[in-house]
Amino acid sequence: MKNIYQLILDNEDKSLRTKLEAANTALNNLPWISDREKWSADDYWATPFETLTQFGGDCEDMAIGKLVVLRLMGIPKKNLYLTYAKVKKTGEIHMVLVWVNDARTQILVLDNLDKTIKSGKMRTDLFVVYLTDADGKMFLIQDDSKKRNIKAEFKPKRFEKLETVKQRMLENQAKYTKINGGKALF
């Protein structure tokens, strides 16, 4: 795998689709490792630095890694959402990253199970529960398998797992400001 730093530099001036595909492919190339196996915990949200140095992670680790790589490539955080879903076939809890255009008329799903970026409408294999942005604003989704709508919107609030991973990332960012020019990670 190309190093992440070079991947970001090579793609920061490319098209949106190229950036999405580069981040999705790079993180999907890492092996899936359960939190139990990797961290001896039931649910641990790793920073991208931890995911890369541990050479893998689970679905939320990959989604968070994709979000950070895309932010470093210049994608605005207002367009990126961590999305909590269930895999319909298995009932497995799953997290993906979605990109949503400003008008909220186009949604693209970046996933480690289905590695091809597809529109939200095409991802009928997922039952979407909620989306959260980098600031903790949450959208509860009504998903009846035919249509998805925002059921409720919650103002940013402290989402413990998200806040914990963001705090660890801020600590990393402070250490590496010289390297990344002070670009926000989240």
Residues 55, 100: contact at Cβ < 8 Å? no
In three-state secondary structure terms, 58 is coil
The answer, as to whether pTM is greater than 0.85, is: yes
Beta-bridge partners for 160? none
Q: Of 33, 31, 14, 28, which is closest to residue 109 (Cα–Cα)?
A: 28
Residues 6+ apart with CB under 8 A from 141: 128, 129, 130, 131, 148, 149, 150, 151
Share of residues in the chain with pLDDT > 70 (%): 89
Please give the Cα distance from 66 to 167 (Å, whole number): 18
Assess whether pLDDT exceeds 80 at residue 142. Answer: yes
Residue 2: which pLDDT band, with cuts at 50, 70 and 90?
A: low
What is the DSSP code (8-state) at residue 31? P
Nearest 5°: the CA angle 176, 178, 182 is: 80
pLDDT of residue 184: 56
The tokens describing 100, both together, are 């949503």
Map out the domains of the chain with their CATH numbers.
Answer: 4-158 (3.10.620.30)
Helical pair 4-11 and 16-28, crossing angle rounded to 10 deg:
170
CA atoms of 174 and 165, how far apart (whole Å): 14
Q: How far apart are CA 57 and CA 155, in angstroms?
A: 29
Overall average pLDDT of the 133-140 stretch: 87
N- to C-terminal Cα separation, the chain: 23
Q: State how far the Cα of 186 lies from the Cα of 170, in Å rounded to an integer.
A: 9
61-86 residue pLDDT tens: 999 999 999 999 999 999 999 999 99
Tens of pLDDT, residue by residue over 81-95, are: 999 999 999 999 999
pLDDT on residue 182: 61
Q: What is the pLDDT of residue 179?
A: 59
